[in-house]
């Protein structure tokens, strides 16, 4: 791969705008830029997660990171890169992980060890990215498969956090409802 970035700073964003893939410039707080930023933050959190999980989980995390880069590219270029096959992969992976877990009878709180906690943070960021995409979709049509992928990804990350907790021998933390405790 040739050197694509010879200079990191350009000073062109000092006015609060950023360059898009098509050469246009938009405000850094534009809904599109916010959605791309949330996806980037999610990808970065997955990198932190990958530093703390058992090796068995790393290939799926890396696959998701690649797909999230595609999500960002799709948003920036307006060319569909996420499709049903990506959603299907997430659903199969989610089902495989979930098979080894005990069925949930109560809500769990984020926690279950350091790695699982990082995964819960990734899940929460994913939900924020999804909210950003919903807001963006009101102004500019977003690929429905991309929307479904991000929605399914948050489900996957919830189950992944549970699987990581189990692999680490950590207990899940169950929500103790104030209402239930007062009865």
- pLDDT band for 181, please (50, 70, 90 cuts): low
- pLDDT band for 43, please (50, 70, 90 cuts): very high
Choose among 98, 123, 106: nearest CA to 174.
106
Question: Which CATH fold would you assign to the domain 27-181?
Answer: Hypothetical Protein Ta1238; Chain: A; (1.20.1200)
Average pLDDT over residues 19-26: 82
pLDDT of residue 172: 86
| Interval 130-172: pLDDT, tens | 999 999 999 999 999 999 999 999 999 999 999 999 999 988 8
| Interval 80-109: pLDDT, tens | 999 999 999 999 999 999 999 988 888 988
Domain boundaries, the chain: 27-181
pTM score: 0.89
Q: Residue 47: pLDDT above 60?
A: yes
Beta strands in 143-183 (DSSP E): 173-174
pLDDT of residue 178: 78
Q: What is the dihedral sign for C-alpha 45, 61, 66, 120?
A: negative
């Amino acid at each position: 791969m040739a050197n694509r970035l010879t200079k990191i700073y350009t000073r062109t964003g000092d006015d609060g705008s950023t360059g898009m893939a098509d050469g246009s410039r938009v405000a850094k707080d534009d809904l599109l830029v916010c959605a791309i930023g949330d996806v980037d933050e999610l990808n970065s959190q997955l990198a932190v997660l990958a530093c703390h999980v058992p090796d068995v989980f790393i290939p799926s995390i890396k696959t998701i990171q690649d797909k999230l880069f595609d999500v960002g590219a799709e948003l920036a270029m307006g060319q569909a890169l996420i499709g049903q096959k990506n959603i299907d992969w997430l659903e199969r992976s989610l089902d495989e992980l979930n098979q080894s877990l005990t069925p949930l009878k109560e809500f769990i709180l984020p926690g279950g060890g350091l790695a699982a906690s990082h995964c819960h943070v990734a899940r929460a960021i994913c939900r924020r990215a999804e909210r950003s995409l919903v807001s963006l979709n009101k102004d500019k049509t977003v690929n429905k498969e991309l929307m479904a992928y991000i929605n399914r990804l948050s489900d996957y990350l919830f189950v992944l956090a549970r699987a990581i907790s189990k692999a680490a021998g950590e207990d899940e933390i169950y929500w103790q409802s104030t209402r239930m405790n007062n009865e």
